Amino acid sequence: MKETATKILDVGQELIQTRGYTAMSFQDIAVQVGIKKPSVIHHFSSKADLGVAIIQRYRDTFASQLEAIKNDPEKTSWEALEFYFSPYLHFASTPDTVCLCGALAGEVPALPEKMRAEVKQFMEDHQRWLEVILRTGRKNGELNFKETPARLSRMLFNTLQGTLLVKRSTDDLSQLKDVIKVIMHMLK
């Protein structure tokens, strides 16, 4: 049986990814977890605290995945890229869901200050990891591109985030696959 706090984080994250932080309420979370609103607040004393906890948990799991890939010398750059793209492909099959950082980025002005710093770090984590893959891939001779790894990684990261964003309104789920295909092709 999952602990209540973990359930709250799970439900909260899902709600942010589908409806956004502002539209996520303690009440919604309480209903989905099966408890009452004040009990949610008992675990996370404010909405901002809950938001920060959700981002931090996500960042932690992301960081550990990064380490696992980094320390596996058998992984090729292409496999690392595929791993990086896999969650995006997952979003391609769920019309209204979006990467956590993308959902939060769209709401930055409405976010409590505590959360903004986390979101910023979050974006930088993502972009920098892609940068590392690109740099080592080119050094190994596996990947081929003209731009600097920093600039290209920023651009590709932005493209992925933008595709997720646009997907929400157009419901054109095939775009994500197309975009990833084009990116892969560009790097050969």
Partner DNA sequence: TGCTACCTACCGTACGGTAGGTAGTCAACC
Partner DNA sequence: GGTTGACTACCTACCGTACGGTAGGTAGCA
Helix spans in the chain (H): 4-19, 26-33, 37-43, 47-70, 77-92, 100-105, 113-139, 149-170, 174-186
Interaction of residue 107 with a second copy, rule CB under 8 A: yes
**Cβ atoms of 163 and 176 closer than 8 Å:** yes
Q: Which of residues 30 and 119 has its CB atom nearest to a second copy in the complex?
A: 119
Q: Specify the stretch interacting with a second copy by CB under 8 A; choose among 3-11, 35-43, 71-79, 147-155.
A: 147-155
Around Cβ 126, how many Cβ atoms within 10 Å?
A: 21
Interaction of residue 96 with a second copy, rule CB under 8 A: yes
Q: Which of 106, 138, 142, 177 binds a second copy (CB under 8 A)?
A: 106
Interaction of residue 142 with DNA, rule CB under 7 A: no
Q: Which of residues 5 and 105 has its CB atom nearest to a second copy in the complex?
A: 105
Residue 48, exposed/middle/buried by CB under 10 A (0-12, 13-18, 19+)?
Answer: middle
Q: Which of residues 6 and 144 has its CB atom nearest to DNA in the complex?
A: 6
**Cβ atoms of 133 and 71 closer than 8 Å:** no
Interaction of residue 90 with DNA, rule CB under 7 A: no
Query: Scanning residues 33 to 62, which ones bind DNA (CB under 7 A)?
Result: 35-39, 41-43, 45-48
Q: Which of 5, 14, 19, 65 binds a second copy (CB under 8 A)?
A: 19
HEC assignment per residue over 61-99: HHHHHHHHHHCCCCCCHHHHHHHHHHHHHHHHCCCCCCC
Please report, as ranges, the residues that interact with a second copy according to CB under 8 A. 18-20, 22-23, 96, 101-110, 116, 119-120, 122-124, 147, 151-152, 154-155, 157-163, 165-166, 168-171, 175, 178-179, 182
